[in-house]
Copies of this chain bind each other. A is one copy, B any other.
Amino acid sequence: MAEATTATDVPAIELEGLAVQDVAQRVTPWDVEGPEVNGVRLAIDYDKLIVQFGTRRIDEAMLERFTKVTGHAPHLFLRRGIFFSHRELDVILDRHEQGKPFYLYTGRGPSRGHMHIGHMLPFVFCKWLQDVFDVPLVVQLTDDEKFLYKSDLKAEQTYQYAVDTVREIAAIGFKPEKTFIFSNMGFMGGAFYRNVLKISRCITYNMARSSFGYTETDHIGKIHFPSIQAAPAFCSTFPTIFGNHTDIPCLIPCGIDQDPYFRLTRDVAKPLKFKKPSLIHGQFLPALQGVTTKMSSSIDSSAIFMDDSPNVIKNKINKHAFSGGPTSLRELEEFGSNPDVDISYQYLTYFVDDDQEIADLAVSYRRGEITSGNMKKRCIEVLQKFVGDFQEREKAITQADVEDFMNPDYPRPFAALAKK
């Protein structure tokens, strides 16, 4: 700004040379292009990448150390600078020298058809490294990334590309007892993860933010989570239950606070050609302290827990349950009590099936015919039974029962149900 000039200061200049704009090279996981200078595309400048990315060149000293530590002459890819750069390769050489273990990790984004010789480079190099160091290798097939970035691909298709490419990778000469090749879709929860991916591809950052109000310092796990909660709303998430059915909708009973998740879920059903889930929304059970907020696990005195003893239940209700009664007997006779804000009465409406009793309780309470002490007493009785019965049943649940419930392969004959 200090050297600002006015129009009159500027001499007439030759503009011709400026018409062509030099274009910097572009190297990202999705694009590789050398720089363009004066309209001519040049080779990729790898030295520049080392500076730009802040990595280290694999120099002569490193190669000498490599030979010394491993007893092997460097692979031609190292000798010729094809593998040219590193981060903390010295740490690995140190460990190897000290007899400490490490492993190799490489990967591939599987695509239609066969690999080409360019794809061979990391694998040929890994095989050599595995032979030299005698270490395990894990190979990640990023069928999920392919699917996320190519909107024309289907999830099953990219998964198939991954399976198809295993044969090719095996042909490099890896030994199965040292090499684990996995597809992200296959290794991470099969049908479940596949549906998570399909859903996540339908929800933009903008959509999720307007539903949940994320900020830019929120972590990417949060931002992605709506895909996880949406997946079970579609029957194809559960192939062992629903087989090949894709047209079976679900009904979701949930607290009304979960609606934002399932609104998004319903929105993505259409583009995915899945059945929209239906919803039933529930109100919250109020906290012991009153109807203005819900019972909360993190505030012990707000809640009756399922492992509370009869005595604890009694004390909590007596001590904490907000009462709709007046403060004196005279007021009680004159004005009656208010069941609408009385927590004991409110709980009874959740746990007593008999409509007549509920109606009678409200009327008598308003008339001042029963005290809030009586109301608490009835509530204690009902909750002690509800919680006590639950505790009895819980005692009877075995570890085997738990495993059956959590076993996706446990026989759940949905086909039989569907036929009726």
* B116 and A305 within 8 A (CB): yes
Which B residues touch A180, using CB under 8 A? 238, 241, 405-406, 408, 410, 412
Interface of A is mostly: mixed
In this complex, the member of A28, A99, A144, A283 whose beta carbon has the largest number of chain B beta carbons within 10 angstroms is A283
Which B residues touch A186, using CB under 8 A? 406
What's the Cα separation between A205 and B386 when bound, in Å?
45
What's the Cα separation between A283 and B418 when bound, in Å?
56
In the complex, the chain B residue whose C-beta lies closest to that of A189 is B188
A153, chain B: closest CB distance, angstroms: 12
* A102 and B200 within 8 A (CB): no
* A397 and B171 within 8 A (CB): yes
Which B residues touch A120, using CB under 8 A? 306, 386, 390
User: With contacts A412-B177, A420-B99 known, is A205 near B182, CB below 8 A?
Assistant: no
* A404 and B253 within 8 A (CB): no
* A221 and B206 within 8 A (CB): no
Copies in the complex: 2
Specify which of B122, B204, B228 is in contact with A219 (CB 8 Å cutoff): B204
Specify which of B86, B188, B250, B263 is in contact with A278 (CB 8 Å cutoff): B86
Which B residues touch A80, using CB under 8 A? 349-350, 358
A202, chain B: closest CB distance, angstroms: 7
> Is A157 an interface residue, CB under 8 A from the partner?
no
CB within 8 Å of B: which A208-266 residues: 208-209, 212-229, 232-233, 235, 238, 241-242, 245, 248-263, 266
User: With contacts A122-B253, A254-B122, A285-B121 known, is A305 near B408, CB below 8 A?
Assistant: no
A365, chain B: closest CB distance, angstroms: 16
CB within 8 Å of B: which A89-147 residues: 89, 91-92, 95, 99, 101-107, 111-122, 125-126, 129, 134-136, 138, 140, 142, 144-145
Interface residues on A, range: 35 or more
* B408 and A187 within 8 A (CB): yes
* A417 and B134 within 8 A (CB): yes
> Is A377 an interface residue, CB under 8 A from the partner?
no
* B117 and A282 within 8 A (CB): no
> Is A5 an interface residue, CB under 8 A from the partner?
no
* A413 and B177 within 8 A (CB): yes
In the complex, the chain B residue whose C-beta lies closest to that of A36 is B292
* A222 and B149 within 8 A (CB): yes
> Is A273 an interface residue, CB under 8 A from the partner?
no
> Is A338 an interface residue, CB under 8 A from the partner?
no
Specify which of B49, B224, B305, B405 is in contact with A200 (CB 8 Å cutoff): B224
* A84 and B220 within 8 A (CB): no
| Between-chain CB contacts (< 8 Å), 9 pairs | A101-B417, A102-B248, A105-B233, A117-B285, A117-B387, A122-B254, A138-B232, A179-B405, A188-B228
